[in-house]
Amino acid sequence: MSGPLTGYTVIDMSRYIAGPYCSMLLGDLGANVIKVERRAVGEDSRGLLPFKKVGDDSVSLYFTQYNKNKRSLTVDFRNPESIELLKKLIAKADVLVENFRAGTMDKMGLSKEALKEINPSLIVTHISGFGQDGPYKDRAAFDCIGQAMGGLMGVTGENGGDPLLVGTWAGDFTTAIYAAYGTVSALLHKEKTGEGQHLDLSLVECTSTILATAIPNYVANGVIQPRRGNRDDVTGPANLFKCKDGNIYLHAGTDPLFKRLCKAMGKPEIAEDDRYNIVEKRMKCIKEVEAIVQQWIGNLTTNEAETALVEVGVPVTKIADVSDIVNNPMLQHRKAIGYVEYPGVGEIAVPGICVKMSGTPGEIRYRPPLLGEHNEEILKEYLNLSDDEIKELYARKII
């Protein structure tokens, strides 16, 4: 059974996370993704921590996390002959994904005009910190800059405390998902019209879209959202609570859920109290409400609290660490983590396929590639080159 993007070819010239994660999502759904890397050294993330090492062999788990379902082709980005070879490949492709700083592709000889001449129906997905034009287009960025300028750090942390980075590269992942959905939309347009187009995604802009109500509340009311720690600032109680042996997070913020919580606590009358019976009132005295919940929960273990709240239908969970995630029976059932064999080091974990499609499911077809592992295969498949022609490319350091 084929994935929904089977038959499309994606040239991935990107690095680190946002671009590679975008192209990996396309590959997960069947696209044929060719990862174009620098000859001899490879994509930058091949050298980043953490590593899995077995004897003299090692692999970057940073690289493998974002590069399954791809084949690797190496070129010299500074060699005009390598660029000419790459152009021939681009002519056969449907999509090109890149996340260089704005203007870098022009310097390579791969400007918008050049790409249109090579392949008029090509979809080019540009990912950068600040967009392809505008006042900051020449500035460099990583996820941390996206979180800081995009507002995510500003709303993260304890009230009155310093801003905090989210514990993962949330800006990069958000941008990658926007880029993937935009690319698929452009492919749909191409199917209808035959037209290619350029997509322009900014890390800062994409990050700024996930701030919930912070922006509209400021525009409407002039309110700058304070940092709120773990508390939901819209409904309550919804916060982290301490049990005898650890922490749980529960959300009983809606009025029906609050009634269920009070039932579990053995205090149904609290839900009828005029001070607490609707969410707007509870939020005015939320610390008082949380203290009532904490008094009850503090006498229970995490297992006891979770069991009691699940029984009445209140959303609740213990706080998972990575070992809990790997061993979670629900995630195991969904195959949220995939396992593949990598040469020299054995089994490694990679992301599973999150979108479970009944008719055209994605699958893990390729483990993350070795550097240049598929040079010959790709050049024969797409450009019909002979063994002797490929040997000549190696000899001249074009690949």
DSSP letter for each residue of 65-86? HT--SEEEEEE-TT-HHHHHHH
Which of 295, 321, 347 delimits the end of a domain? 321
Exactly one of 76, 94, 172, 233 is catalytic; name it: 172
Alpha carbon 96 to chain centroid distance? 18
* pLDDT at position 229: 97
Query: Where residue 366 sits, what CATH number does that domain have?
Result: 3.40.50.10540
Q: Does the annotation count 172 as an active-site position?
A: yes
Segment 50-69, tens digit of pLDDT:
999 999 999 999 999 999 99
Q: What is the DSSP letter of 43?
A: -
Let me know if residue 222 belongs to a domain: no
Let me know if residue 3 belongs to a domain: no
**What's the predicted TM-score (pTM) here?**
0.96
Q: Please count the structural domains in the chain.
A: 2
Residues of the domain holding 246: 238-321
Task: For the beta carbon of residue 209, count every other beta carbon within 10 angstroms.
Answer: 13
Asked if pLDDT for residue 1 goes beyond 80, the answer is no
Mean pLDDT, range 331-356, rounded to an integer: 98
* pLDDT at position 21: 99
Q: Which residues fall within 8 angstroms of residue 132, CB to CB, at 6 or more apart?
A: 102, 126, 198, 200
* pLDDT at position 122: 99
Let me know whether 343 and 303 are in one domain: no
The CA-based dihedral angle spanning residues 126, 129, 131, 133, taken in that order and rounded to the nearest 10 degrees: -120
Let me know whether 186 and 142 are in one domain: yes
Let me know whether 203 and 263 are in one domain: no
Which tokens in the block code for residue 396? 């001249």
Query: Where residue 317 sits, what CATH number does that domain have?
Result: 3.30.1540.10
pLDDT range class, residue 193, cuts 50, 70, 90: very high
Let me know if residue 229 belongs to a domain: no
Let me know whether 71 and 97 are in one domain: yes
How does 187-207 read in b/e, with b if 16+ C-beta sit within 10 Å?
Answer: beebeeeeebbebbbbbbbbb
Asked if pLDDT for residue 291 goes beyond 70, the answer is yes
Indicate the average pLDDT of the chain: 98
Let me know whether 56 and 139 are in one domain: yes
Q: What is the DSSP letter of 248?
A: E
Mean pLDDT, range 77-86, rounded to an integer: 97
Let me know if residue 174 belongs to a domain: yes
Let me know whether 52 and 127 are in one domain: yes
Q: How far apart are CA 333 and CA 228, in angstroms?
A: 34
Let me know whether 154 and 206 are in one domain: yes
Let me know whether 176 and 59 are in one domain: yes
* pLDDT at position 173: 99
Let me know whether 185 and 85 are in one domain: yes
* pLDDT at position 225: 96
The values of phi and psi at residue 149, to 5°, are: -75, -30
